[in-house]
Amino acid sequence: MTTKIEPNTTRRSAPNQQRSRDTLEQILIAAADLIEEVGFEKLSTNMICRRAELTPPALYRYFPNKYSVLKELGERLMAQQNILMENWSLDAGDLSNLEAEIETLLFETIRVTRQTKAGAWIMRSMHATPVLAGVRVESHRHVARLLAERIIETRPDLDHGRILPSARLSVEIGYAVVEMVFDERSIDEGEILRQTASMLAFSLRQAISHQA
């Protein structure tokens, strides 16, 4: 039986000098431009080099392959999305405005993704490329842990181990809807976000009340 070898996605160098940091950003900007034009499957390091006006050795100084470039773009996008949850003040003792708060959180996640160059394509690449799936999964786990912690902060009587699975499910559903908004242009975005917020609010209320 042949063991499949996954491509290395670890960035090779952390630039210290401004010139090196500029080169790194030049590579990422070129990659994002190309993803919007040709998609992540057709993207290649040669294409990135030509667009960034760099030699292949200059690119390989930082990234071993296109998957490493995509991973860097994905981690940056996920970090921007994660900040929204990190800044969310959730009072589990007063859930009267939970639907509106979740709807705003979903809307802001979509806004951040739209403002990120090739954001929708980067998000798709994290979902469709097995070697990059860990970036998406770890981000979702991180957000779920944050959500569970926000709940426990104001409701210390609750069991974190039982709240976390509900938080994880809510995060997965929320991100699935965000992806759907970009893939299904014909849907009413506002309506789907309202329906999702109502569903997630109900689920979280149930998880909290069942432990009360």
SS (H, E, C) the chain: CCCCCCCCCCCCCCCCCHHHHHHHHHHHHHHHHHHHHHCCCCCCHHHHHHHHCCCHHHHHCCCCCHHHHHHHHHHHHHHHHHHHHHCCCCCCCCCCCHHHHHHHHHHHHHHHHHHCCCHHHHHHHHHHCHHHHHHHHHHHHHHHHHHHHHHHHHCCCCCHHHHHHHHHHHHHHHHHHHHHHHHCCCCCHHHHHHHHHHHHHHHHHHHHHCCC
Residue 7 has what pLDDT? 72
Residue 8 has what pLDDT? 72
CB-side neighbour CA atoms (13 Å) of 103: 15
> Mean pLDDT across the chain, nearest whole number?
91
**Which residue type, as a one-letter code, is found at position 120?**
A
Residue 1 binned pLDDT confidence (cut-offs 50, 70, 90): very low
Residue 13 binned pLDDT confidence (cut-offs 50, 70, 90): low
Residue 90 has what pLDDT? 84
Residue 187, both tokens: 């849907």
- Rounded to whole angstroms, the maximal C-alpha distance in the chain is 62
Q: What is the pLDDT of residues 170-212, one digit of tens each?
A: 999 999 999 999 999 899 999 999 999 999 999 999 888 876 5
Q: What is the pLDDT of residues 132-172, one digit of tens each?
A: 999 999 999 999 999 999 899 889 998 888 899 999 999 99
Residue 4 has pLDDT above 60, yes or no: no
Residue 74 has what pLDDT? 96
Residue 108 has what pLDDT? 97
The domains found in the chain, sorted by start residue, are 18-66 (1.10.10.60), 71-209 (1.10.357)
Q: What is the pLDDT of residues 59-109, one digit of tens each?
A: 999 999 999 999 999 999 999 999 999 998 888 888 889 999 999 999 999
Distance CA 10, CA 206 (A): 41
Residue 2 has pLDDT above 60, yes or no: no
Distance CA 48, CA 26 (A): 9
